[in-house]
Amino acid sequence: MDTPTKRIAINFGGGYVPGLNAVITGTVLAASELGWEVVGIRDGFEGLLFPDRYPEGGLVKLTPQIVENLAAATGCILGTAAHSDPFHVRTINAENMVEEVDRSDELLGMIKKEKIDAVISVVGSRALSILWKLSRKGLKTVCVPKSVENDVAATMLSFGFNSALSFVADMLERCRQAAQSARRIGVVEVLGEHSGWLALQAGMAVCADAVLIPEIPYDLHKVAAKLREKAKAGLSFGLVVAAEGAKPLADLNVPPKTSDPKMKAALSPGATGHEGFHVMERSGQVAVEVALEIQRLTDQETYPLVLGQLARGGTATVVDRQLGLGYGAGAVRALNSNQSGVMVVFQPPDLKFVPLTEAINKFRTIPADSEFVQIARALGISLGD
C-alpha cells in the first residue's frame, strides 16, 4: 500500500522578496486539507545545520491557525538564507583556518531523522542547483521559483517579480516627475544582472526615454541623440532606466574601464576592496557611468540613482499573493502526485511541473522579438541600439 507523504518541510533560499508568507500559507492550507503536517526550516537549511543558533528550535511547526493572517503580512516568518549552501559550508578547521566543507550528507540525515518526507524549497536561480544536487542524492523535493528579476528559466512568472515591478515602476514615476520638474536627466539603476525584465517592463510602464538591458548592448550616442532632440523641442529633461547588468556595445570585448577602486567601493554597496565595503554585490556602477557619459554627450544636468535592493522589500501585490498561494498549493499537489525533483511553473493560465534540469544553469532572458521589446520600440522608447 502506498502510504502518502505525511510530514513535509518548507524553506527559503536566496534573497528576500515580498510575500514569502503567502507561499507558506498556500503550502500549509493545502497540506492541511490532505491531513499532512508542515514544518518550516529557518533560514534556508541553517535551522537544521546550525541548531545551536536557534534556542527555540531551527524548525517551526506550521498550522492553519498560524497562517490565519499570514498571507498578506510583510516579512517572512522563517527567514531566508542568501548564501547558504550545504555543499559548501564555511567552517573554521583545527588549524583555525576558514574552509568549506560538504555537509550535504549530514543534512539529508537530519531531514530523515526529523521524519521529513519532502522539502518544498522556494528559491532563485542559484539555489535551484543546490536543490537539484540534493535531489540527486535522494532528497524528495519540489521547488518554487522566486526572483525579483524574473530570471528563473522555464516559468513565465517567478514569485516576487510582480511586487518588485510595481515598486520599481512607482519609483520611476517619481523619478520621471522629479526630473521633469527640475529639468534634469535621471539615470536609474534597477536590479537585473542577467536579464532586463524589471528594467524593461517598469521603464515601459512609465514611458522612459531609454531602457538599457543586459540583452541589448547599448550605444549611449543613440540615447543622447534622442535626449538632445527632445531638448530642442523644449523638453530638456528625461529618464533613463538601466538594469545593473546592462553593458555598452563598445566595451563588449574590453575590460570595463572602471575608475578608481575607492570610488567603486563607496558607490557600490559591496564592490570589493580593502578600504571599501564588504563584498555584497556589484551595484551602482552602471547608473554612475551612464549618467556621467550622458551628461557629457548632452550637456544637460544628469544624476544617477540606484534603487537596487529596495525592490526586495514592502508588501506583496495581489498578483504575488495569488501566485504565492497558488505555488504553495501547487507544490503540495506535485508531492501528492508523487513527483520530485521538479519545479512548479506558471504557464498561464495553468500551473505545471517541470524537471529541475530544465531550470538550472541558465537564466530566463528577454528574446529579441519579445512582445515587450516590440511594444517599447513602438512607443518610441530607445533600447540603446
Should residue 325 be labelled a site residue for its own copies when binding is judged by CB under 8 A? yes
Q: Stretches 121-129, 131-139, 219-227, 314-322: which one binds its own copies (CB under 8 A)?
A: 314-322
* Close Cβ partners of 70 (under 8 Å, ≥ 6 residues apart): 21, 22, 24, 25, 77
Nearest to 218 by CA among 194, 241, 247: 247
* Close Cβ partners of 10 (under 8 Å, ≥ 6 residues apart): 23, 24, 27, 38, 39, 40, 41, 62, 78, 119, 120, 121, 122, 328
Least distance between its own copies and beta carbon 105 (Å) = 27
Cα 234 to Cα 27: distance, rounded to the nearest angstrom: 55
Site for its own copies in 199-218 (CB under 8 A): 201-202, 204-207
Should residue 29 be labelled a site residue for its own copies when binding is judged by CB under 8 A? yes
What would you report as the CA-atom Rg of the chain, rounded to the nearest whole angstrom? 23
Should residue 71 be labelled a site residue for its own copies when binding is judged by CB under 8 A? yes
Nearest to 45 by CA among 150, 123, 145, 148: 123
| Contact with its own copies (CB under 8 A) among 266, 282, 339, 354 | 266
Should residue 35 be labelled a site residue for its own copies when binding is judged by CB under 8 A? no
Least distance between its own copies and beta carbon 370 (Å) = 7
| Contact with its own copies (CB under 8 A) among 262, 338, 358, 385 | 262
Should residue 368 be labelled a site residue for its own copies when binding is judged by CB under 8 A? no
Should residue 231 be labelled a site residue for its own copies when binding is judged by CB under 8 A? no
Letters for 271-310 (x = contact with its own copies by CB under 8 A, - = none) are -----xxx-x-------x--xx--x-----xxxxx---xx
Site for its own copies in 39-58 (CB under 8 A): 53
Least distance between its own copies and beta carbon 117 (Å) = 18
Output 308 or 341, the one with its CB closest to its own copies: 308
Q: Stretches 3-11, 89-97, 216-224, 315-323: which one binds its own copies (CB under 8 A)?
A: 315-323
Please, where are the H alpha helices in the chain? 20-33, 46-49, 104-113, 125-136, 161-182, 197-205, 220-232, 261-267, 285-298, 318-336, 371-378
Should residue 249 be labelled a site residue for its own copies when binding is judged by CB under 8 A? no
Nearest to 198 by CA among 143, 160, 226: 160
Site for its own copies in 125-144 (CB under 8 A): none
Output 32 or 357, the one with its CB closest to its own copies: 32
Cα 159 to Cα 46: distance, rounded to the nearest angstrom: 22
Site for its own copies in 326-355 (CB under 8 A): 326, 329-330, 332-333, 348-351
Output 184 or 247, the one with its CB closest to its own copies: 184
Which conformational region is residue 362 in: left (phi greater than 0), alpha (psi within -120 to 50 degrees), or beta?
beta
Nearest to 58 by CA among 28, 80, 78: 78
Should residue 236 be labelled a site residue for its own copies when binding is judged by CB under 8 A? no
Output 177 or 357, the one with its CB closest to its own copies: 177
Output 101 or 318, the one with its CB closest to its own copies: 318
